[in-house]
Amino acid sequence: MSVNNRHVLSVLVENQAGVLSRVSGLFSRRGYNIDSLSVGVTEDPAISRMTIVVRGDSYILEQIKKQLNKLIDVIKVIELDKDRSVFRELMLIKVNARENTRASIIEIVDIFRASVVDVSSETLTVEMTGDEDKIEAFIDLMKPYGIREIVRTGLTALERGSKEIQSYKKYGEED
């Protein structure tokens, strides 16, 4: 994915204390812009996987990949292609919802295949997953009702098809 110089990197790391700090520190230290970073354990409990959305031209992207690869705890770095990958993000959003607006909000929630996870006399809390465009569109539609709070996980992504990240060569290895 490289719209507006945005790139999505999928990074396998050792599941060890301090890895997150090493990776995030590398971005701030070298002045690379980072839009989001999500991390969680993988099918192998000793390995975690990060999805990092970065901004930069091809030079910056190349540098980011090389510098990430230099970290001992980083096992593999791949860039996910927009057309060959699935991108998802989870959002929880709390909006104002009174009797007169509740029904119309739920209607939008249904259209987006999101779900209401909490209701109060004044608000509705909605959970939704989707790619960024879908999430942004939903936020836009909620704005007129009054958004109280938003929390997002950041993008997470996987390549389509049967290929796995482990089958890629590490940067610098011979073809």
Partner 1 sequence: MKAAEAIVKFLVEEGVDTVFGYPGGYIVHVYEALRKSDIRHILVRQESAAAHSANGYARVSGKTGVCIATSGPGATNLITGVATAYMDSIPLVVLTGQVPSSMIGRDVFQEADIKGATESFTKHNYLVRDAKDLPRIFREAFHIASTGRPGPVLIDLPHDIQAADIPYSYPETVHISGYKPTVKGHEGQIKRALKAIAESERPLILAGGGVNLARAHTELLYFSEKSGIPVVHTLMGKGAFPSNHPHYVGMIGTHGFSYANEAVSMADLVVFIGARIADRTAGGTQILPENMRIVHIDVDPAEIGKIVGTNIPIVGDLRVILKQMNEKIKKKDTSAWLETLRAMKTEETYETGRLVNPKKAIRILSGKLSDTAIMVADVGQNQFWAARHFEDLPGRKFMASGGMGTMGYGIPAAVGAKIAAPDRQVVAVCGDGGFQMSMFELGTIAANEIDLKIVLFNNSHLGMVREIQNRVFGQNSHTALDKNPDFVMLAKAYGISGVRVEKDEDLKSAFDQALSHKGPFLVECVVDPDESTL
Site for partner 1 in 1-20 (CB under 8 A): 13-14, 17-18
> What does the per-residue mask of binding to partner 1 show for 134-173, with x meaning CB under 8 A?
------------------------------------xxxx
Q: How far is the CB of 23 from partner 1 (least distance, A)?
A: 11
Tokens of 60: 């910056």
Indicate whether 81 belongs to the interface with partner 1 (CB under 8 A): no
Out of 6, 22, 82, 102, the residue judged to bind partner 1 by CB under 8 A:
22
Output 113 or 169, the one with its CB closest to partner 1: 169
> Which distant-in-sequence residues (6+ apart) come within 8 Å of 23 by Cβ?
11, 13, 37, 50, 52, 68, 71, 74
Out of 35, 60, 73, 79, the residue judged to bind partner 1 by CB under 8 A:
73
Among the listed residues 52, 7, 10, the one whose alpha carbon sits nearest the alpha carbon of residue 163:
10
Q: How far is the CB of 118 from partner 1 (least distance, A)?
A: 35
Please tell me the distance from the alpha carbon of residue 59 to that of residue 110, in angstroms, as a whole number.
Answer: 43
Indicate whether 98 belongs to the interface with partner 1 (CB under 8 A): no
Tokens of 33: 């812009």
Residues of this chain that interact with partner 1 (CB under 8 A) are: 13-14, 17-18, 21-22, 25-26, 29, 59, 62-63, 66-67, 69-76, 170-174
